[in-house]
Amino acid sequence: MSYIGKQPIRTALTSSDIEDGVITAAKIEDGAVVAAEIASNAVTTAKINADAVTSAKIADDSVNSEHLAAAGIDKEHLTDHLDIFAGTSLSAADLGAGVHIKTADSGASVNAGHDEIVAEGSGNSGISILSGTSSNGAVCFGDSGNNCIGYVNYDHTNNKLDLGTNGATQFSLDSSGNFLPAATDHGIYLGVTSATASNLLNDYEEGTFTPDTNIGFASVVGEYIKIGKMVHFTIQGTYNAGPGDGSQASSVTGLPFSASPGDQLCEVWVVTHNEHVIGQVGGTGIGLKGRGDGVSITRGQIGNKSLQITGTYHIDL
């Protein structure tokens, strides 16, 4: 470059020319670095310091282990400055093929089929899932067809633990420690290692019922236990006075479940001269017949007598 007359005087930049460490075009003349050149690289004082990771260290705007190492950033530096790593070793090589979180050496090895995340300590060790008081916390098991095909879910609203398979809850452990099926056809297969219909126990119930008779009871109580398709029951009572004739057969009605098929037999004890009679169950009723001749017991024969019945019958066979 040539000049006519005197050459321009170059003046050294001073601290008064630099505000907040920023060099602007107004402060730099005569072909020096201009704002456009600074802006194109987005160079600011916040990015220029002794330990900065600069664009020269970050290729294509990505941070990798090589660039971090060049900047002096390593696991020890993270441990010193981030509370999440306080007292913890975060390793990808000590145990397992994935992430290893370690507070102390347990001396144990890890299962090669389940080693993407390993949490290790020399004492009690664990993983906590913390949720809101009206929310859920869960562990999901997914695949390419369903991202949560199986799960263990804790419902904080109801304080119950749900066990899910095939994308739906199948059983729940409630806040009182009771297992509840999600549907009435769910049960337990006993004595087999595969689902066999005849080994499925899916129903249990117990309670009381109020029997009736065509004479009427002065007092009576009935109890039952139902396991699957089998009903066991007891009846104890005292009949009202009979009509004094043998014109109508006696019967007891009001069983808790209908027998199927009908005409199932049960043991009946009628306290009239210590006599056993036959109880013939059909539907929800019992017909009473003499043990020796099989003839129906009439109302006149059992009036004012006590009755004890113990029986077992089946439903839906």
Residue 197 has pLDDT above 60, yes or no: yes
Q: Which of 86-100, 182-196, 291-305 has the lowest mean pLDDT?
A: 86-100
CATH number corresponding to 206-314: 2.60.40
154-192 pLDDT per residue, tens: 999 999 999 999 999 999 999 999 999 999 889 999 899
Q: What string of H, E and C letters represents the secondary structure of 135-182?
A: CEEEEEECCCCCCCCEEEEEECCCCEEEEEECCEEEEEECCCCCEEEC
pLDDT at res. 69: 66
Q: Mean per-residue pLDDT for 126-145?
A: 95
Cβ atoms of residues 88 and 103 within 8 Å: yes
Q: Which amino acid is at 225?
A: I
pLDDT at res. 31: 46
- 3-state helix, strand, coil split of the chain in percent (to 5) is 10, 35, 50
Could you tell me which residue, 3 or 23, shows the higher pLDDT? 23
Q: Closest Cα to residue 98, out of 120, 115, 114? A: 115
Query: What is the location of CATH 2.60.40 in the chain?
Result: 206-314
Burial class (CB in 10 A: 0-12, 13-18, 19+), 111: exposed
What whole-number distance in Å separates Cα of residue 230 and Cα of residue 257? 10
Whole-model pTM: value is 0.59
Compute the mean pLDDT over every residue in the chain, rounded to the nearest whole number: 79
pLDDT at res. 15: 53
241-283 pLDDT per residue, tens: 776 666 678 889 999 999 988 888 887 776 654 567 888 898 9
pLDDT at res. 42: 56
Q: Which of 129-138, 197-206, 209-218, 297-306 has the lowest mean pLDDT?
A: 297-306
Which runs of consecutive H residues, i.e. helices, occur in the chain? 35-41, 65-70, 75-81, 299-302
Number of helices (H), then strands (E), in the chain: 4, 19
